[in-house]
Amino acid sequence: MRIYDKLYCNGTWVTPDGTEQIAVINPTSEETLAMIPAGTAVDVDRAVRAASAAQPGWAATPHTERAAYCQRIADQLSARQDALADLIACEVGTPLRIARNVQVGLPITTWNCMPELVTNTKFEEYVGNSLVLRTPVGVVGCITPWNYPLHQITAKVAPALAAGCAVVLKPSEVAPLNAFVLAEIMEAVGVPPSVFNLVTGYGPVVGEALVTHPEVAKISFTGSPPVGKRISELAARSLTRVTLELGGKSASVVLPDADLHRAVTATVNACLLNSGQTCSALTRLLVSRDQLAAAEVIAVEAVARLPLGDPLAPTTRLGPVVSNRQRERVRDYIARGVAEGARVVTGGVEAPVGLDHGFFVQPTIFSDVRSDMTIAQDEIFGPVLVIIPYDSEADAIAIANDSRYGLAGAVWSSDLAHSQQVARQLRTGQVDINGGAFNPRAPFGGFKQSGYGRELGSFGLEEFFEIQSLQLPPA
C-alpha cells in the first residue's frame, strides 16, 4: 500500500493543513491501494495564492518555452507509460492493454500536440486599427473525474499551461494516484514553482473552495451534471468563467442500408469500453424494427468476445467498475429496466460467474426498449446497452435527439453522404460516421446538459485565453 502524506504546492511537497486521509480502493481486489490527504479549504487557499503569485511570470514566459515544458512532460509520460498503465489499471479497473493505449496513450498525444498548437496560435493579430491579443485567462482550477483520470487531467492542464495559466488541480479522490505521478514529472522537468499545484480531497470541501476562491479566474470541470450545475451556481456569484464537460446518453443510429454486423459490433465495443464508464459511450443502439432480432444476436456474440476478469490479465477485455457504490448503482438500473418491461438479452443483476470478489457487473443488453424508459434516458455509467427499434429515419432521428444530453453519437450507412446528412440533424457535439476514430485534435464537448465549452485541439486551447483589443492611433 502506498502512503501519500503531502500535497504539491509552490514547487515542493508540503504537509497538508489537516490529518484526515482518504483510502483509494483497488476495484478488483477490494483492498486499499493507497492513502492520500483529504485537503481542506486552507490547502486550497495556499495553492491558489501560490498560483496567483506565479501567474504574471508564467504569462510573460515566451510561449515557445511553455510549449517546450509540455514536450518534456510528454517525454516523461512516455518513459513511464507501462508503469502508469499498471497504476491506472489498479485504480480504475481498466484492462491493461486499454490502459496503456487509451488511459496513458491519449494524454501523451495531447501533451505532444501542445508545441504545434502553440506555434499555430495567433497570440497577436491586427484587425483594422486594433491589435488583438490572446492573453492568459489567469489562475485555472481543474476538477477532474475518475474514469479516464490522466486523460481528463491532461485535457485541462496541458492547454492551460500552454496558454500561460497557472493551475491548481483537484483530481478525483477515487483515482488520484496518477495525478501524484504527474506532479512528480512537473517537478522533474523543472516547471517553475507554483505554476502547477495539486490538492487532493473531496469535492464539497476542496472542489467548492477552489470554485469560490476570488483569485481563481476559470474553472474547468468534468463530471456529473448535478455537480456541474452546482459549480455553475457557485461560479456565477463571482462570474468566474467555467467550462463543463458533463454526461452523455449517446445514440448509435444504424440505418437500414448499413453493414449491420459491423455497426452493432462496433457499438457494443464502444458502449462497453472501460466497463461502460465513458461519458461519450454509445449506450443506445437504434436499429430498424425489422432488423431488431438480427441485431440482438450480433450484440450477444460481440459481448461473448469480451472476456471479463482481472484487468492485469493479458486476455481480459472488461474489468470491474470502479467502486462498490458504482456497482450498486448499475445493478439498480438493470433491475429498473426489468421492472419497466425491457427484455434482457444477455447479462443481469447477478454477479458474474466466478467473480464474486471485486466490483464486477455482468455486461448487460436490453432490447424492446422504449425511449421513455429510465434506462434509455439516464446515464447509467456501466456496462449496459439498450437496443431501441425505430420505424422510419425520421423516427430514428427523433429518438436519438430525445435526450437531455448531447455529447456524442454515431451514424452508420453504406451511403457516406446520407450518413453525414443524418449526423447533421443530431443535436450532439461529436458524431462518429461509419466507425470514424476518436480524434484527440478535434473539439470535444456537448450540447444541452452535456455541458458547454470545448476541450482538445485548438478549440480547447482557446478556452484559456481572454481577448484584448488595443485600439491604435493612425500612423
What DSSP assignment string belongs to 17-29?
Answer: SS--EEEEEPTTT
pLDDT of residue 307: 96
In residues, how long is the chain? 475
Give the active site residue among 113, 165, 173, 245. 245
208 catalytic per annotation: no
Element (H, E) at 398: helix 393-401
Cα separation, 338 vs 366, whole angstroms: 9
CATH number of 2-246+450-471: 3.40.605.10
Element (H, E) at 186: helix 177-189
Cα separation, 163 vs 156, whole angstroms: 11
pTM of the predicted model as reported, rounded to 2 decimal places: 0.97
pLDDT of residue 333: 98
pLDDT, tens digit (0-9, with 9 covering 90-100), for 151-210: 999 999 999 999 999 999 999 999 999 999 999 999 999 999 999 999 999 999 999 999
Cell (9 digits) for 305 = 468476445
CATH number of 250-439: 3.40.309.10
CB atoms within 10 A of CB 214: 9
Cα separation, 179 vs 149, whole angstroms: 8
pLDDT of residue 324: 97
Give the active site residue among 113, 165, 271, 279. 279
pLDDT of residue 356: 86
pLDDT of residue 1: 87
Domain parsing of the chain, residue ranges: 2-246+450-471, 250-439
Q: Which residues of the chain have pLDDT under 70?
A: none
pLDDT of residue 291: 98
Cα separation, 197 vs 199, whole angstroms: 7
113 catalytic per annotation: no
pLDDT of residue 475: 80
